[in-house]
Amino acid sequence: MNIKDIVNRDVVNLTNCESEPIHIPGSIQPHGFLLGIKNEDQVIDFCSANCGDYLNLSPEQILGKTLEDIFQKDQSDLFATYWELNKSNQATPFVFVSNKMEFNTSVHLSGETLILEFEPFPDGTLSLPDLYNQTRSFVSLMEKHSYLPELCQDIANETRAITGYDRVMIYRFDEEYNGEVIAESKIENLDSFSGQKYPHTDIPAQARELYIRNPLRVITDISYTPVPLLTLNDSGEKTNKSLDLSLSLLRSVSPIHVEYLKNMGVGATLTVSLLKNNKLWGLIACHHYSSKLLPHYTRLSALLQGHFLTSQIAVREVAEEFEISQAADKALMESLTILHEQEDFIEDFYKSPSLLNLANATGFAIYYKGKIYKNGLVPENEDLIPLLKKLSENYPNAGLHTEQLISIFPEDEKLSKYAAGIIYHSIAGGTPDGVIWLRAERRETINWAGNPHKAVIHNEEGAARLSPRKSFELWLEEVKNKSLKWRISEINASSSFAYALQKHINLRYVRNQENKNRLLNDELKAANKELANLNWISTHDLKEPLRKIQIFASKVLDRENPDLSAQVKDSVERMRFAAEKMQVLIEDILSYSKTGNMEKVYENVDLTLILKKAVEESADIIEEKNGVINFGNLPVLKIIPFQIHQLFINLISNALKFSKQDVPPVINIEVKTVNALESTSLKLAENTEYFAISFQDNGIGFEKEYENRIFDVFQRLHPNHKYPGTGIGLAICKKIMENHSGFITADSELGKGARFTLYFPKEDIV
């Protein structure tokens, strides 16, 4: 039979200490023994080397056997029943008996191995805890204290009374897992560790992970010699077998941790995990200065103390946070009330005490439109304004809070006196405008239990390795350039105020714009009135002199014709023609003005009827040019009838005017339905169908570059007497289509005619 131990002999040094496999040491403490049974066939696969000290059986007599072979059938059967009933609850151990010695036996499953840990009764009796009195005592403490530190102190006192250890500490971790003793109960002759801090290297990450998985750990004698675990290796080859002892009570601990405790002068320990939201919050750490073997049920009583305290950690911390948040909310409401009631809040109320209180800040400032408004203890403008500009550049759309500003901007260490910590929010993206809360530097002296920076030493060969600190004398470290930590309630309150301030500024801007728009509107009304007067003058006062000019010119030409020279006749004729042209222009301007300003009364009308009427009115010129107009039925729409009539007249007249010489004009008027998907080149509204009514002619056309300009007022493509006009007709067409929520387009090719298309939305026009 080839028996091998599974002791993990990896060397622990500076390079691998953070990954030391402490869950598979391959050894146990000697105050009990261990058996590992294959779950599939109940054969003993592991045993500790000290089994002979308790069972008078050698490892060779144990490995490969079953429990029935070791403890006889009656005990084996009873254990099988016990395990079946207690797989999820091992608070009550099974009691095995061998050679008239009783063993409390803790059982758990590790992978496919059932681990049995045997401990002889320390005093030969089964001492059950008084759970009722213990629970009643805790409830009394819970009702007595409102704050967590006070409760922790009494839990430490109670735990020491239950366990009898020389020192019991409540140990709390910070964000970096540095620990601090927040409560302590001890015998009188011991120096106090209360308030001392311990670096995170004292309890590495893998140890913290084990504390989460297994909430109880016991070391009965720091000077113990580890007992190796043995297993069969019949093949004779090197075995890689291991056994995960994460949940074991007898597990041997890291040699570094043993050395650490020896350096502290500790003889025995008991550690209970304190969890919050499934994360390690702290520990109940019990120290004894000689060896101490604690009975099973007393250990459970200590564990129960840990459960009691764990149940209150989150509750008490939330309660404390709630008190602070209530004060912050009260200050926030005061600030918001003033903000909502005062238009000039920034200029007149920036020194309100509530602005400091809502974040428990020592200083506050608003930077707005190049001016800074300060409240409380605030740096000089020449220092603060550059900081605000940097913050706006780096955090334009997100807030920032930090307890150590120099960790972000190292060059700003000089600001720590007033602004070691800040909360910042931008209030106008793209500008330096922002709001900032400041906290002054809080210089703190940390009481470390020994120098935390001396965790690395060099051995005789000069190699570096992790070393337990040999000195635990008080080592003071001064922390500078850091403020108190911002609480969640303070961060939330400042964020809420910054958002409200941003809305206030936007609202103030809107109100200012409304005032400006109101003044501008008044100016526009006055201008429109003046334009109306000018329109009246142009359409009435100017028309009368023009008529007189035309009349006098005609009289001169009619009465004095024989006596006039050819030169005078030509001049008078030109004068009469100019007056007629000016009168037409005035009439067109009047029509264009009426198109936009007249009251819009819409009626459901058949466009076919309006088109027929327009064609009838144009009959003379159509007949004169031998023109043809082809059209079918047009839709019924809600329109302004006289405007659509004018629209059709203008388009028909335009096509007849710009017809080719000696070519009879042909105008084809068609209608179809289009939408945005079918006509991607047009800016049609989505989910809306349009009636597209096109007027296609065979006239002279025009260059494509004029397709959009042709609708501008006074835009004439043919400025000569052959095609007379004012350039307003198509502008009127565009205006009419806008009045009907539609639009008009033109497309043409020079010499090949032109097409004008009217787009009317099919939905009702309102």
Contact 12, 256 (CB under 8 A): yes
Please compute the mean of the pLDDT values over residues 450-472 and round it to a whole number.
Answer: 49
Looking up residue 58, the CATH number of its domain turns out to be 3.30.450.20
pLDDT tens by residue, 600-652: 678 899 999 999 998 998 888 888 889 999 999 999 999 888 888 888 988 88
**pLDDT given for residue 463 in this prediction:** 42
**Lowest mean pLDDT across 184-188, 270-274, 647-651, 691-695:** 647-651
**pLDDT tens figures, 274-321:** 998 889 999 999 999 999 988 888 888 888 888 888 888 887 777 777
Instruction: Tell which of 511, 531, 556 closes a domain.
Output: 511
Q: Is the pLDDT of residue 714 over 50?
A: no
Q: Which domain holds residue 387?
A: 342-443+480-511
* Percent of all residues in the chain with a pLDDT value above 90, rounded to a whole number: 26
Which range (217-221, 351-355, 569-573, 712-716) has the least confidence? 712-716
451: left (phi over 0), alpha (psi -120 to 50) or beta: beta
- For residues 141-169, average pLDDT: 85
Q: How confident is the model at residue 766 (pLDDT cuts 50, 70, 90)?
A: very low
* Res 49: pLDDT: 94
Give ∠ CA 262-267-270 in degrees, rounded to 5.
110
Whole-number pLDDT of residue 375: 92
Greater confidence (306 vs 562) lies with: 306
How far CA 98 is from CA of 54, 75, 77, in Å, comes to: 8, 10, 15
Identify whether residues 749 and 714 lie together within a single domain.
yes
Q: CB of 627 within 8 A of CB of 656?
A: yes
Q: What would the two tokens of residue 393 be? A: 């550049």
Mean pLDDT, the chain, integer = 81
Domain check: are 299 and 405 in the same one?
A: no
533-560 pLDDT, tens per residue?
656 555 556 666 666 676 767 766 676 6
Mean local confidence (pLDDT), 169-193: 90
pLDDT at 42: 87
Residues 142 and 103 in one domain: no
Q: Are 123 and 130 in contact (CB under 8 A)?
A: no
397 and 439 in a single domain? The answer is: yes
One domain for residues 391 and 489? yes
CATH code of the domain covering residue 207: 3.30.450.40
Report whether pLDDT(235) > 80. Answer: no
Same domain, 161 and 271: yes
User: Is 462 part of a structural domain of the chain?
Assistant: no
Are 51 and 165 part of one and the same domain?
no
Q: Please name which of 189, 190, 439, 440 lies closest in space to residue 181, comparing C-alpha atoms.
A: 190
% of the chain exceeding 70 in pLDDT: 79
What is the predicted pLDDT for the residue at 465?
A: 43
What is the average per-residue pLDDT within 70-92?
86
Whether residues 716 and 626 share a domain: the answer is yes
- Does residue 617 share a domain with residue 732? yes
Residue at 26 is within a domain: yes
Q: What is the mean pLDDT of residues 420-427?
A: 90
Residue at 457 is within a domain: no
**Of 264, 262, 180, 182, the residue nearest 222 (C-alpha):** 262
**Does 116 lie in the same domain as 135?**
no
**Do 359 and 486 contact (CB within 8 A), yes or no?**
yes
- How far apart are the C-alpha atoms of 429 and 434, rounded to whole Å? 9
Longest CA–CA separation in the chain, Å: 162
Please identify which residue in the block is written with the tokens 């970096």. Answer: 176
Q: Which residue has the higher pLDDT, 99 or 237?
A: 99
Q: Give 579's pLDDT tier (boundaries 50, 70, 90).
A: low
pLDDT band at 413 (very low <50, low <70, confident <90, very high): confident
Cβ count near 99 (within 10 Å): 8
Res. 65: pLDDT tops 50:
yes
Predicted pLDDT at 471: 46
Give the chain's domain count.
4
pLDDT at 596 over 60: no
Residue 71: half-sphere exposure toward Cβ, Cα within 13 Å: 24
- The pLDDT tens digits of the residues spanning 103-148 come to 999 999 998 999 999 999 755 455 556 665 767 776 777 667 667 8
Residue entry with tokens 């320390």:
122
> 99 and 149 share a domain?
no
Give me the mean pLDDT over the 568-581 stretch. 68
Q: Are 170 and 305 in contact (CB under 8 A)?
A: no
**For residue 451, is pLDDT > 60?**
no
Residue 309 falls inside a structural domain: yes
Average pLDDT over residues 266-279: 92
Task: Flag whether 714 is in a domain.
Answer: yes
